Amino acid sequence: HVLLMASCKRNGVDEREWLSDIFDRVQGIKHKDLFKLLPSNWVKYRGQL
């Protein structure tokens, strides 16, 4: 949990926005695409999810 929040800060991602978005998406995403939900990849991929 703490590492994910630190990753958000390091990548300039709003923690609350990220958490809200991934909670909505995590159940419907394919296992092979879970890496796209990581804070370091989220900005790049969120429009494609």
User: pLDDT tens across 5-20, in order?
Assistant: 999 999 999 999 999 9
Q: Which band of pLDDT confidence, cut at 50, 70 and 90, is reported for residue 47?
A: confident
Q: Among 19, 48, 18, 21, which residue's Cα sits nearest to residue 33?
A: 48
Q: Which band of pLDDT confidence, cut at 50, 70 and 90, is reported for residue 48?
A: confident
3-state secondary structure at position 45: helix
- Give how far Cα 34 sits from Cα of 6, 18, 46, Å: 19, 14, 12
Percent of the chain with pLDDT over 90: 88
3-state secondary structure at position 29: coil
